[in-house]
Structure 1
Amino acid sequence: MGCQIGKTNQIQIRSKYNNLVGIKFQEAIESSNPQLKQLQHQWNQFEIKDFTTACKFKQSDPTRFRKYLMNGALSSNRWLLWKGSLFVENIQESGCYEALLKTSQNQFDSDIEKDLPRTLPGHQEFNKKSQALQNVLKAIAAYNNDYVTGMNQVAGFLLLVNGMDEEEAFWMLNYLNINPQFKFLQLYQTNDSQNSGNQFEFVTKLLNIFHKHFKSQMPQLYQHFEAQDITQYCYIWKWIFSLFLQTFPFEVVLYFFDFMIANNILAIISLSLALLKHFQSHLLKLDQNEIAQFITKLQECSDVFDRSKHSDHLCVEQIIIYATQFHEQLGFSKLEETLE
């Protein structure tokens, strides 16, 4: 039950979504989780008709808009809410995407080619060489004169959510890459100076913030991890570096992205702390091997909207509640101050 499931079940869970995109992809997740339908009715969500409606909603009542998105968007609203939250449509340059695709071969083409089959493995859309994904990544590389492995996972996920609309995925990824509130591009960049040892500087900064608050907020669990020699590479490094895309099932990542887009890059830390708090009582009972096995199996969880009180059961609703508390109490809305 919960996270206590095996590889066969993981394949069955993935098979429900691995040939779907857009609204059908999201609706398949919703329909397989009856508890989620109850939650969305409880949250009194309403239909967002278009981008203008989403923007007006944010401008007229930003607090309610943020809460509305953080609680988990309806599938019919999600992409419009993401665009409205980021005002993505306002930064689109007419004709720019088409022009970028016509650029001659650049230095990043071979790296992009290698990443195509490694994107969201198991989903039918990316089992083959996805032309849509290749186009988005080529345009991103040309626009920023930079490409780093890791962008492909985010680009692929955005394409799944929006129904393979290349241009909209491009502009949203570009915004998330360079906007000071998100800086996704910096997650994957290394500092090549001799003094830095080729470290992921921005990820290291986020890791330091995480460890500081993990130690202060959950000292007993922190000490238990130290005693059991659970290093950051067992879990938090992967959570941050992949934006949860390679460590949790799609139905979890959708709602984590809702939460991140409603806030900022530090939402990754809030969600990570929330996950540990949610599983704290269970993790305290486990030794090193059991902890490592449990963390690995988080990507296989099913019934992630179940409100049952199992200490080893992943409940997205409860994690979002904890993450909201951490984000507000730890001052993560003040991004620049926290990153100093």
Structure 2
Amino acid sequence: MSLPTMASPTLSPDSSSQEALSAPTCSPTSDSENLSPDELELLAKLEEQNRLLEADSKSMRSMNGSRRNSGSSLVSSSSASSNLSHLEEDTWILWGRIANEWEEWRRRKEKLLKELIRKGIPHHFRAIVWQLLCSATDMPVKNQYSELLKMSSPCEKLIRRDIARTYPEHEFFKGQDSLGQEVLFNVMKAYSLVDREVGYCQGSAFIVGLLLMQMPEEEAFCVFVRLMQEYRLRELFKPSMAELGLCIYQFEYMLQEQLPDLNTHFRSQSFHTSMYASSWFLTLFLTTFPLPVATRVFDIFMYEGLEIVFRVGLALLQVNQTELMQLDMEGMSQYFQRVIPHQFDSCPDKLILKAYQVKYNPKKMKRLEKEYAAMKSKEMEEQIEIKRLRTENRLLKQRIETLEKGQVTRAQEAEENYVIKRELAVVRQQCSSAAEDLQKAQSTIRQLQEQQDNPRLTEDFVAHLETELEQSRLRETETLGALREMQDKVLDMEKRNSSLPDENNVARLQEELKALKVREGEAVASARELKLQLQELSDTWQAHLSRGGRWKESPRKLVLGELQDELMSVRLREAQALAEGRELRQRVVELETQDHIHRNLLNRVEAERAALQEKLQYLAAQNKGLQTQLSESRRKQAEAECKSKEEVMAVRLREADSMAAVAEMRQRIAELEIQREEGRIQGQLNHSDSSQYIRELKDQIEELKAEVSAGPPRPAREGLRARRVLPEGERAGRSGRRRGPRPRGRRRTPSARRFPAPGAAVEGPAALRGPAGLRRAGPGAAPG
């Protein structure tokens, strides 16, 4: 492995950024006084090399405009290379001394150390310097790491699913079950067991992946634990994501204060801050910039915390304000996804310079934090109040339902009371009618008494009674005549029934006849009883007549006669009532007889109906059989038609398969031609030094691939599917590049991030997914 070079401001073609970043190294006089003579000499050499490289870079830019000075340009390039090698050696010595004398540098030379970190930590020193910056060298949790790996975590399934999406193009993490994926799984699992409240969040895997690129897994685990505890990352990755909401609130305030026009444009387009800035805070630009640029930002984050995220984010918006003001929401989303990440690939120092030109006031950020906390507490109180009001509303609804049920019950009770009142009114009416009857009876008794007191009235009353007796005898005679007529009718009916030819109804008619005879016997018995009662009445009447001449003999006999007269009148009324009852009973018997006759007639009609119903069922069954035969014939006809259609479809499918095979062979031929062309171009690239010629060849390769990709596409591998939204041309080009085996020597750049677009719509911090809202997997989260 070759020795990596330090990302220094002296490598930037922007002289203003070099001067701005190199000047602070000698500006603090107090730090220079504390340096040893060797360190002062080393710093002087660094400054001299910076000035030489600055002059060389200016001369190179002036030489590139003229073809005549190509020789001097080569000489200056060689001198720049030699100066760069000396600078790398001096930087290596300086950072080695810083690592060995860390406490002294941290205590006495803090400003100088800060400027050196802003210029970038050399690659081979990052592991030890990062551990020293976060004080993760001696942590108790390091001894627990091996024990944690033996335990099981509820987040293992989510971690296994997401590790393949973490730096998928990096060699260390490429391939399923690779070493990088295994150690990344171990660190994420161990932390999910140490901090069960946070558990696992997808964005944290990118931070751990960067640490694993620099140091072993145990040291990376300790550094990650320290970052979560001391750098506000734990609050960012909690299930509530309250800290992310605070960061978005502070960033929006800075945007409104420093870039009001751009902020107004964002609001007019409904382009919320969380749609592009959430991934900046959650992954510290690791999913936004290529690794060299993102690592420079991470160096400063390790020393200064989240302040660098605010500065870099606002610097990006300042640089691209003019372009963003001309785009709509979709265009801004595509711009954040494709243009901004690669603006500073060749000059990360320019990005750092722009970031430290942004105004950042820690006191104001503290005030915003208090305002956000007050606002959130107020929102929480409002939510509690809303919850209380909802509870009260639910209770009121339940009370209303109870009252409605009570109202229904009262309505039922009112209806029952109304019915009872009606019944009571009927009873009262009956009572009043009974009282009227009683009054009538009392008046009748008074009239009878008056008649008994008056002999003339008594004679009239006796005559009236004789008249009524004669009428009752006439009615009895009529009743006997009607009875004889009924007997004659019964005999006539018996004769008719005997003459009927239907033998099946003989038993039924006999039963009817027996019932009629029984009723006739009852009528005869009633007539006999009535005769006996009439006889008794006649005897009593004769006895009354015989006593009529002696009424005035004595008062006692007079009273006795009155009582006998009253008893006689009562018996007469009783006999009259019995006669009426007998008549009514006879009428009931007649009606029952008619009802019995009608029932028999109805039974006969029902028997005929049953016979007709059986015949109808037989005809229906016959019709059903015919319908079944008809449906069977239709089904056979449909099966024959389907069979013919299937044969035609099979012929068409075979034709389509043959056409697909031909198209696939043509696609394979095109892919082989692309591979041959790429091999030839790769050979040319290996022997060429001109950057312009390289770019032209790359453009030609992309055009050839785009032409080939116009053919029928094949399914892409699901495990490496890009998650960003691509335009039609680029999507076709990439689908074409994925077909077939990858040619050797090709290597994808780390900038190809498979992370959701920063323009993905996000409603709030708690609903963020991907970079704008990562899936939560805490203690209560079910593994996917």
Give the SS at the match of 1:152.
Answer: helix
Residue in 2 aligned with 1:107? 154
Matched positions, count: 292
Q: Structure 1 residue 334: deviation in Å?
A: 8.5
Residue in 2 aligned with 1:58? 106
Residue in 1 aligned with 2:307? 266
The 1-side partners of 2:365 and 2:333 are apart by 31
Q: In the alignment, which of 279, 282, 292 is matched to residue 251 of structure 1?
A: 292
Alignment of 1:7-86 (within 5 A): 27=4, 34-35=11-12, 45=91, 46-49=94-97, 51-86=99-134
Q: Structure 1 residue 138: deviation in Å?
A: 1.8
The 1-side partners of 2:166 and 2:316 are apart by 25
Q: In the alignment, which of 292, 308, 318 is matched to residue 350 of structure 2?
A: 318
Q: In the alignment, residue 200 of structure 2 is paired with which amino acid?
A: V
Q: In the alignment, residue 186 of structure 1 is paired with which amino acid?
A: E
Q: In the alignment, residue 161 of structure 2 is paired with which amino acid?
A: K
Residue in 2 aligned with 1:185? 234
The 1-side partners of 2:105 and 2:134 are apart by 13
- 2:171 equivalent to 1:124: yes
- 2:186 equivalent to 1:135: yes
Q: Structure 1 residue 338: deviation in Å?
A: 5.2
Residue in 2 aligned with 1:148? 200
Alpha-carbon contact 2:204-2:283 (below 8 Å) kept:
no
More helix by share: 2
Question: Structure 1 pair 97/60, CA: closer, same or farther in 2 (3 Å)?
Answer: farther
Question: Structure 1 pair 299/321, CA: closer, same or farther in 2 (3 Å)?
Answer: closer
261-270 or 38-47, which deviates more: 38-47
- 2:325 equivalent to 1:284: yes
Give the SS at the match of 2:96.
Answer: coil
Alpha-carbon contact 1:113-1:134 (below 8 Å) kept:
yes
- 2:275 equivalent to 1:234: yes
Deviation per CA, 1:123-147, whole angstroms, max 9, x where unpaired?
A: 2322323221111112212222342
Residue in 2 aligned with 1:216? 257
Q: Structure 1 residue 112: deviation in Å?
A: 1.9
Deviation per CA, 1:232-291, whole angstroms, max 9, x where unpaired?
A: 243112222332122221122111111211211232222211111122233334343432
Q: Structure 1 residue 57: deviation in Å?
A: 1.7
Percent sequence identity over aligned pairs: 21
Alpha-carbon contact 1:177-1:184 (below 8 Å) kept:
yes
Question: Structure 1 pair 337/229, CA: closer, same or farther in 2 (3 Å)?
Answer: closer
Deviation per CA, 1:17-46, whole angstroms, max 9, x where unpaired?
A: xxxxxx86x938959x9538x968667843
Q: In the alignment, residue 213 of structure 1 is paired with which amino acid?
A: M
The 2-side partners of 1:339 and 1:278 are apart by 27
Question: Structure 1 pair 47/154, CA: closer, same or farther in 2 (3 Å)?
Answer: same
Question: Structure 1 pair 333/323, CA: closer, same or farther in 2 (3 Å)?
Answer: farther
Question: Structure 1 pair 266/337, CA: closer, same or farther in 2 (3 Å)?
Answer: farther
Deviation per CA, 1:90-128, whole angstroms, max 9, x where unpaired?
A: 4355623223223x2122222222222121222232232
Q: In the alignment, residue 108 of structure 1 is paired with which amino acid?
A: C
Q: Structure 1 residue 55: deviation in Å?
A: 3.6
The 1-side partners of 2:260 and 2:365 are apart by 24
Q: Structure 1 residue 205: deviation in Å?
A: 0.8
Greater relative contact order (Cα < 8 A, sep 6+): 1
Alpha-carbon contact 2:316-2:340 (below 8 Å) kept:
no
Give the SS at the match of 2:292.
Answer: helix
Question: Structure 1 pair 299/249, CA: closer, same or farther in 2 (3 Å)?
Answer: farther
Q: Which runs of 5+ in 2 are unaligned?
A: 23-45, 51-86, 371-784
The 2-side partners of 1:231 and 1:73 are apart by 35
The 2-side partners of 1:231 and 1:176 are apart by 28
Question: Structure 1 pair 334/257, CA: closer, same or farther in 2 (3 Å)?
Answer: farther
Alpha-carbon contact 2:159-2:185 (below 8 Å) kept:
yes
The 2-side partners of 1:299 and 1:185 are apart by 28
Alpha-carbon contact 1:108-1:141 (below 8 Å) kept:
yes
Residue in 2 aligned with 1:172? 223
Residue in 2 aligned with 1:5? none
Q: In the alignment, which of 312, 320, 338 is matched to residue 297 of structure 1?
A: 338
Deviation per CA, 1:69-102, whole angstroms, max 9, x where unpaired?
A: 1222222333333222212214355623223223
The 1-side partners of 2:281 and 2:314 are apart by 12
Q: Structure 1 residue 206: deviation in Å?
A: 0.5
Give the SS at the match of 1:185.
Answer: helix
Question: Structure 1 pair 139/119, CA: closer, same or farther in 2 (3 Å)?
Answer: same
Q: In the alignment, residue 135 of structure 2 is paired with which amino acid?
A: F
Alpha-carbon contact 2:250-2:365 (below 8 Å) kept:
no
Residue in 1 aligned with 2:360? 330
